[in-house]
Chain A
Amino acid sequence: MAASVSILIVDDEESVRDSLYNWFIDEGYRVESAENAKKALDILESKDFDIILVDIKMPGMDGLELHRRIKSSNKDTIVIIMTAFASVTTAVQALKDGAYDYITKPFDPDDLSHLVRNAVRQIILKTENEVLRNKVISLENIEDLIGKSNAMMRVLKEVERVAQSNSPVIITGESGTGKELIARAIHSNSPRKFFPLVSVHCGALSESLLESELFGHEKGAFTGAMYTRKGRFEMADGGTIFLDEIATISAKMQVELLRILETKTFIRVGGNKEITSDFRIICATNRDLKKMVEDGTFREDLFYRLNVVNIKVPPLRDRTEDIPLLVDYFIKKYCTSMSRDMISIDPAAMKRITEYGFPGNVRELENMIERAIVIGNGKEIRLKDLPFEKDTINSSIESLQDLEKKHVRQILEKYNWNISRSAKALKVDRVTLYNKIKKYGLKPSTN
């Protein structure tokens, strides 16, 4: 969206023009600048801009007059007035004349960022008519959410649907299924995407730390609080707050959370001023919150407040058809990030991967592929590049003989069937190893 928003900067100070120009270019906007009102009007004769930033004090025609002329020819253009502290009263006059907002120089980077994002949001709302809003929206800005299985398609469809609303969402699923990725996908596809996504891992923080993290604190609120600090709810203003491991929060924090969800206002620790924040809340947990409600360890009212939309992320074992896609994706991802040539995967290795149960889900698969690329031969991922310790534990091997057969085979594969090296690793002589190979009918893999 940023690339399709055009901005014109009108300021007589070259350093201001250049700094703003660079900042907006970094943000991805299309930008032009003019050193005075006359030049700006000349440019506006041939081009339209979505946002115009106008300095109030300029030699010749001032910013107020330029604003009036812009508004007389194009009412829809958003004009933001830039002013020095001394000329705020003049800026207020500009607001009365229909300017979108004003900002005092020098700007706090966050203020400018918020102001422009709000303006962009207004432009989006204006251009998105009902037809556009109801059409099928394709997901963008998502990484690592790969899958074409029915289970995953259902989840992605749900993400697409809920992204457009403001409702609270609870994402449930086993560890490693990608709950945080789902939260990111919802945020990145929502109208809030220009504002921050603030993540908090509730399980990692004690009650008092979590309180300070979420609500912020005032200077002097406790020993060591030498400065006022914004909390995560305040930082998420306009955007989304993601609370991971929500089931771990204390009873006291559950009450606090319920209150802030109901009022969207809160008070910083040690403060007395009510602060309002416009955020959307997404929570995640790998626990059964409903059961926790029944057990009395999670508040029922908070559960119903949060559980407006529930997205269940399936474990990888329930969507095995996605495994080859995920493997290809992770190979591409890690070969690119390690600046290596693309590699392939040996069919035997792929077969073994698809058969594996993946108790650690997608995270385990990703780590497995990354490790295989790091330790592998740089051409393909082989069976011996993959660790399957957990598989050994879960396998159907019961007898000692089966275990010995499997171990001997693994060692032989590890050393490319080099008998001397394999025997040395097994701490047996070569004859014993030959006897074991014969006994178990072991042969080198054809792949």
Chain B
Amino acid sequence: MNKQDILLISYGHFEKDFLEKLAGDVTREFFYPVYIEAGHIDFNDYYDPERRQYDGNKLINVIDTVFSSYNSKRIGLFDVDLFIPIFTYIFGQAVFNGNTGIASLYRLRNEHYGMKKDDNLLLDRFRKVIIHELGHTFGLIHCHMPTCVMRSSTYVEDLDQKSHHLCLKCRTRMQ
């Protein structure tokens, strides 16, 4: 794999179909080949019992180390509640201009907010988080265009307001 490849690493159980749809969406957005791999870690090592959440920074570090030989952009996919020391929670996180990021489904489910389960919406939200974090690894900062995927989102409703596409300005900036 070279630096233009993108690797989606699933930690935990994800349906094959679900991952393939995500990979397709990511390919269409960045035009780089996207590969899927299953990652294995002991989640206990990253669990903070006081916060009852998983440390996003440590997870990024371990993915960075384990997959250092791949030399491609990689995003760890999780289904656990993630945090970084300063924030109560995060949907995802990435190293700016780096190679590694993470994204979690945990807070993207409608059921988490007392609403009806919606698998299509879940897929849509997750792909937006993944594409957003990958955007950071490609050196993109948050964008003020309301529909751009690089607009920052702190609530799922913010995610629903934007598209899963880069705006023309961000795309040009990336190229």
A residues near B (Cβ < 8 Å) are 2, 13, 15-16, 18-20, 22-23, 25-28, 105-110, 112-113, 141, 143, 184, 187-188, 193-194, 196-199, 219, 224-227, 229-230, 232, 235, 332-333, 336-337, 339
Give the 7 A-B CB pairs with smallest separation, nearest first. A226-B114, A227-B114, A28-B141, A110-B154, A109-B154, A197-B146, A339-B31
Contact indicator A107/B86 (Cβ below 8 Å): yes
Q: What is the interface of chain B, defined by CB distance below 8 A to chain A?
A: 31, 51, 57, 83-90, 93, 95-96, 112-116, 136, 141-142, 144-147, 152, 154-155, 157-158, 161, 165, 167-169, 171-172, 175
- Contact, CB under 8 Å: B141 / A336: no
| CB-defined contacts of B84 to chain A, threshold 8 Å | 15, 19
| Cα distance, A184 to B86, chains bound together (Å) | 32
Q: A196-B161, A224-B115 are in contact. Are A336 and B172 (CB under 8 A)?
A: yes
B146 vs chain A, min Cβ distance (A): 4
A26 touches B136 (CB 8 A): yes
Considering the chains assembled together, what is the distance between the CA atoms of A23 and B157 in angstroms? 20
Q: Chain A: which residue is nearest B135 at the CB level?
A: A26
B contact residues around A194 at 8 Å (CB):
144
Closest chain B CB from A325 CB (angstroms):
15
Question: Within the assembled complex, what's the spacing in Å between the Cα atoms of A227 and B93?
Answer: 26
Q: Which of B115, B146, B155 contacts A184 (CB 8 A)?
A: B146
Q: Number of contacts between A and B (CB, 8 Å)?
A: 109
- A224 touching B116 by the CB < 8 A rule? yes
| 29 CB-based A-B contacts, threshold 8 Å | A15-B57, A16-B85, A19-B85, A19-B87, A22-B96, A27-B141, A107-B88, A108-B154, A109-B90, A141-B144, A143-B145, A143-B167, A184-B146, A184-B147, A187-B146, A196-B146, A196-B161, A224-B114, A225-B114, A226-B114, A227-B113, A227-B114, A229-B114, A230-B155, A332-B168, A333-B168, A336-B171, A337-B165, A339-B31
Specify the chain B residue showing the minimal Cβ separation from A11. B86
- In the bound assembly, the distance between CA atoms of A230 and B83 in angstroms comes to 22
Residues of chain A contacted by B158 (CB below 8 angstroms): 196, 235
